[in-house]
Amino acid sequence: MTDTDRSATPPSPPPASDWPEPGRGQAARPSPGSDPSAVDGPLSGTQPGRGQAAGPSPGSGPSAGDGPLSGLRVLELGQLIAGPFAGKTLADFGADVVKVEPPGDGDPLRKWRLLHDGTSVWWQVQSRNKRSVVLDLRTDAGRADARRLAAEADVLIENFKPGTLEKWGLGYESLAADNPGLIMLRISGYGQTGPYRDLPGFAVVAEAMGGLRHLMGEPGRVPVRAGVSLGDTLAALHGVIGVLLALQARQRSVGPDAPKGRGQVVDVALYESVFNCMESLLPEYSAFGAVRQPAGSALPGIAPSNAYRCADGQVVIGGNGDSIFKRLMQAIGRDDLGADPGLADNAQRAARVDELDAAITAWTVRRKVDEVVATLQAASVPAGRIYTVADIATDPHFLARGMIQTVTVTGADGLTLAVPGIVPKLSATPGAIRSPAPTLGQHTVEVLGARRGPDAAA
């Protein structure tokens, strides 16, 4: 969600920069105007999951020198989902992400969905490995501090409505005049140009405009949504890709007239990020006038691939490869279909998909999920149960690959919180949960105190 309604190693930081390293300088404390006693239920540090070292103690920033993006300075001005998810991803791999939050309640995500001691448990995922600074960007003083931080940053992330930063005097051209190497990631509903650029855009609208929502659901019924903000996350991931590409280009542009290299704007639109994942949708329409329609749990034109009822639940089965199809038919006792020359390739199977789904269902519906999955996996047929989060939290494969980490929330009950691990997994320079999600303004003095003094207003 954008805030519209309200292989190169990155270069080392410039030697003369004032950007304070995490955990150094003045001791962290809440910014003026923030409420340190009620903001967060702060984490006391991450506890090790499988293959994960424990994190630092409260008050310390992310460890310097950790991860492939160590030394990369990121200023995050975004709120809610898309911009902050991009910042989280960079921070997981060592970038020093300074998150700017407005005074008062901070990022609205702190109050979204289920709260523990007044703060969303989601916050502990979205803002891990970051430092929080409170600035009021609607004031001259707040904007001046943001400009000084941007002058020392490698990357700036924002997901405001297009034109907002320009209104505040913080547009790219203005900031790049002081910092030519700055890379600005701009995530918005419709992009920085075009006739829709000024419209408010949330992920729910982007998923509809990008073509995804029309395909989700049963034929003839109101389209459904996935239950998570896919448009925001897809935009964030495209944004991270763009940042890494821009860093590579910046390194290649280093020269006497650009000692840090030349930065650029990375313009990511939510709807385009969704549309980019729509596979053959457009070329099929262009070539044949075909408008793909919703098909429930099936994948039109690919067969057999569907969800199937069992005696005690459902499974998904992907039997659409030619050799896989034959093994699937053998496993369910339908060798006749496996040997049928009229089902030898996907195009033929797609034409008889109803017949195949009926044959598979006749077999699955008489068996429990565990039996179906075990039988098909033994036959090397892709199949699996449909997981709930309760299944995920105890699954041995998730645990073995470090995808379930735990952090302890400081508070009356010392809540131990399971959080997702790091993706992707790098063999030599893996990411890590190095520090807990910050309290509101926890690092304002650490980041700005030497410059403004501890009693300066945000």
Catalytic residue IDs: 232
Question: Order of strands across the sheet with 305-310?
Answer: 305-310, 313-318, 383-385
Cβ-defined contacts of 242-249 (< 8 Å, 24+): 242/185, 242/266, 242/268, 243/86, 243/90, 243/155, 243/183, 243/185, 246/183, 247/8, 247/10, 247/72, 247/154, 247/155, 247/183, 248/7, 248/8
Tokens encoding 77: 């001005």
3-state secondary structure the chain: CCECCCCCCCCCCCCCCCCCCCCCCCCCCCCCCCCCCCCCCCEEEEECCCCCCCCCCCCCCCCCCCCCCCCCEEEECCCCCHHHHHHHHHHHCCCEEEEEECCCCCCHHHHCCCEECCEECCHHHHCCCEEEEECCCCCHHHHHHHHHHHHHCCEEEECECCCHHHHCCCCHHHHHHHCCCCEEEEEECCCCCCCCCCCCCCHHHHHHHCCHHHHCCCCCCCCCCCCCCHHHHHHHHHHHHHHHHHHHHHHHCCECCECCCCCCEEEEEHHHHHHCCCCCHHHHHHHHCCCCCCCCCCCCCCCCEEEEEECCEEEEEECCCHHHHHHHHHHCCCHHHHCCHHHCCHHHHHHCHHHHHHHHHHHHCCCCHHHHHHHHHHCCCCEEECCCHHHHHHCHHHHHCCCEEEEEECCCCCCEEEEECCCCCCCCCCCCCCCCCCCCCCCHHHHHHHHHCCCCCC
Number of neighbouring beta carbons within 10 Å of residue 262: 18
